[in-house]
Every structure is written in C-alpha cells, then in structure tokens.
Amino acid sequence: MKKLIASAAVLVLSAAALVGAREAYSAPESTAWQGDTVHSFVLFKVKHLGASWAYGRFNAFTVAVGANEDGSAVSSVEFVVKAQSVDTGNAGRDKHLMSPDFLNAKQFEEITFKSTAVKGEEVTGDLTLHGVTKSVTAQLVKVGAGKGMKGEELVGYETTFTVKRGDFGMTNLVGPVSDDVTLTVATELSKK
C-alpha cells in the first residue's frame, strides 16, 4: 500500500514537473522594461466648443512594458496614471477637470491600462477610467532605440488612441467639450 501511494505521488510530481517545464518552454522570452517618467508623457486632447483642440497632460504615472531582449517586440503593457496630476496649464481648469463634472479624481484616483493581448504592434487591454473598465485596442509604434548616459539600453514607444468619455460614464458637458478624447502615451523605456 505504501509503495502504491509513493508511486502515485511520484507520478503526480513528475506530471507537474513536465507541465511546468512545458509552460516554461512555451513562454515567450520577455524582459521587463521600466518607463523613464522624465522622458515619458501621457497627453490628451479634446475638442473645445467644436472649434479647437484643448491639450493637457498627466504628470504622475508609471509605465511598465514587457518586451524581448532588444526591446523590438512588446509582450505586455501596463500604465497607472494619477488622475489628480492632470495639468492643462491652468489651475482653475485643472480643478474643474478633477471635479465630479469630469474625472471625479478624488473618488477615482487612478487611470490604469493593462494589456490582455499583444499581436505585433496591436495592443488590446483593459482601460479603467472614471471607475469604468473597457477594452481598448491601440497601435504601438516603436520610435527608436539608443544608449543611456550609463550605457544602458533604451527604447521608445508611442501610442495614440481615441476613446469616448461617455462610454466611461463621463457624460457631463458633452457638447462644449467633445465626447472623443484622444490619448497619447509616449514612453522611453530602460531595461530593469
């Protein structure tokens, strides 16, 4: 009986090891790349009164990307933006944007994106904005690659995509301020 239990245990462990080995073998090679926030930007633009673009940025955020060794192929993208860091170059407008009229930034402190699938340059993921999560797809464009001051490897990516803020429950003042919000995330990544 003891031999039977021992054999079964060995069998289960072996199977687990084999499954683990297979998963390890099939997983794509991925290196973690960290966004340099000084050389990264989260920008947005909305149409104001149908006449002009109003631009703004978020000053506090983190970006993390999973990519291959030389950074040429991305496997995952994740960013977290502090909604209260919105900056349009005007304090009054920023406070209005942070209020429940728009971002409600004191209740929904973070805007996040986490990729769920990456096919070449096309990244699909869950964007959480204003407490609502929706799947969005964006085209990721490699800007370039280079060496940092300490010889570290750098790579730059940028993506621009448009969402309807109404889809995220931000329905107030749609009209004077457009429903379409175009977001640009530009990041310089260095290998972790």
Partner 1 sequence: MDPAGMALFVVVIPAVVAAAALFLARFLARGEKAPLWPAIAAGFAAGHLGIGGWPRGMPVEAWQWMLPIAVLGAVTGASYAWNSMPARARVAPWVVIVGFTVWTTLVKRPPVALAGFSAAAFLLGWTLDGAARRTSARSFSATVLIVATATGVSLVVSGTLLIGQMAGALAAATGACLVLAGRLRLESRSAVPVVTALLAALWMNGILYAELPIASAVLLAAAPLGCWIADVVLAKRLGPLPMTISRVAVAVLLAGAGVAVAVGDAPPLDYCRGAVRRQIVL
Residues that bind partner 1 (CB under 8 A): 90-93, 95-96, 98-101, 104, 106-107, 131-132, 169, 171-173, 175
SS3 25: helix
State the nearest-atom distance from the C-beta of 55 to partner 1, in Å: 13
State the nearest-atom distance from the C-beta of 177 to partner 1, in Å: 11
- Please check whether residue 14 is in contact with residue 22, taking contact to mean a CB–CB distance below 8 angstroms: no
125's tokens? 């993921």
SS3 176: coil
When the beta carbons of 77 and 129 are compared against partner 1, the nearer one is 129
141's tokens? 């464009």
Q: Which helix (H) or strand (E) holds 149?
A: none
When the beta carbons of 155 and 177 are compared against partner 1, the nearer one is 177
State the nearest-atom distance from the C-beta of 39 to partner 1, in Å: 29
When the beta carbons of 172 and 184 are compared against partner 1, the nearer one is 172
Beta bridge partners of 32: 66
